[in-house]
Amino acid sequence: MNTREMFAKAIKGGYAIPAFNFNNMEQLQAIIKAAAETKSPVILQVSKGARNYANQTLLRYMAQGAVEYAKELGWEKPQIVLHLDHGDSFELCKSCVDFGFSSVMIDASSLPYEENIALTKKVVEYAHKYDVTVEAELGVLAGVEDEVSSAVSHYTKPEEVVDFATRTGCDSLAISIGTSHGAYKFTPEQCTRDPKTGKLVPPPLAFDVLDAVMEQLPGFPIVLHGSSSVPQEYVDMINSLGGKLPDAIGIPEEQLRQAAKSAVCKINIDSDSRLAFTAAVRKVLTEKPGEFDPRKYCGVARDFMEELYKHKIIDVLGSDGKAE
Ligand code: 13P
């Protein structure tokens, strides 16, 4: 399904839909098991890095298989979207529309404003012919995600959003309010340090910018990228088992919970599942150095990710039970 109805319900209901990236079978199984068990609508996202890693055709059929798998798990009417994350050209978005994706993102946020509008509008005109919904972006997120990167962030300018949404016809808008991609969302200089634990405490998200956007565009679906929380239990586990992730830090979950209650109706999470996967693999291989069957450590990684996804759905986004 596309995102239109899903988002309208999420805004009314004060929750957000999880948008989880996937690159491999274990991640997809974990997402579907978590969504089926909690009866949460879910968005499966395919990034450019995922396509390069796993192949677009394979990922598309895996997503199709996931719908059948969800039914096998007892979820009678799965609500699953297959979404292109960070599409960077009309041709790519078109190929995903033609190929059966139900939603695409055109990320032209690094282009000058008028060019962002022109490209987004072109994608919207094409996608809407096939009832595929389109996410666009205004403002720039810092950080690195697969092949999308920017050194600095620029908050979304609330005074531009009405003009942008009206002229492009986009269905949802990703905004920049201080989130960023990856496991290092803030530099130590941007944070304070908890004197007891020595851990970094990040600055709060710019909720004033979010409020101003919502005032300009009442009821319009807003998307937050870069919303991993970088759970410190995984970071500590990785670091204590030979890894090296100094000062990795994310967005506190209470702030995401607060955002999910507003018009923010899609929250993107990728890095957290990478951390869960890596922590699990390090744990198994440290405890059993003789293990060489990938199913033994990828299976544990899958369990870790499933727990993580369920926690996000139930405790952070509040989307459980919304796709009965
Ligand atoms: P994280 O790196 O915070 O998980 O963000 C992922 C994302 O926004 C994908 O588009």
Q: Decide if 46 contacts 85 (C-beta within 8 A).
A: yes
Question: Is ligand 1 within 6 A of the CB of residue 225?
Answer: yes
Torsion of the alpha carbons at 270, 276, 278 and 284, rounded to the nearest 10: -160
Cα–ligand 1 centroid distance for 225 (angstroms): 5
Question: Is ligand 1 within 6 A of the CB of residue 26?
Answer: no
Question: Is ligand 1 within 6 A of the CB of residue 180?
Answer: no
Hey, which of 271, 274, 278 would you mutate to test ligand 1's pocket, going by the most ligand atoms within 8 Å of its Cβ?
271
- Token pair of 97, please? 């529309």
Distance of alpha carbon 268 from alpha carbon 35, whole angstroms: 15
Cα–ligand 1 centroid distance for 306 (angstroms): 17
Q: Decide if 265 contacts 173 (C-beta within 8 A).
A: no
Taking the chain (324 residues) in consecutive chunks of 10 residues, what is each chunk's mean pLDDT?
98 98 98 98 96 93 97 97 97 96 96 97 98 96 57 85 98 96 90 87 94 98 98 97 95 97 98 98 98 98 98 98 95
Distance of alpha carbon 168 from alpha carbon 114, whole angstroms: 10
Report pLDDT for 149.
Answer: 53
HSE, CB side, 13 Å, CA atoms: give it for residue 292: 1
Q: Name residue 283's amino acid.
A: K
Report pLDDT for 145.
Answer: 47
Buried b (16+ CB within 10 A) or exposed e, 92-121: bbbebbeeebbbbbbbbbeeeeeebbebbb
**Residue 85 is among the residues annotated as catalytic for this protein:** yes
Report pLDDT for 141.
Answer: 83
DSSP letter at 104? E
Buried b (16+ CB within 10 A) or exposed e, 199-221: ebebeebbeebbebbbeebeebb
Which residue has the least CA distance to atom 5 on ligand 1? 226
Q: Decide if 20 contacts 45 (C-beta within 8 A).
A: yes
Distance of alpha carbon 309 from alpha carbon 314, whole angstroms: 9
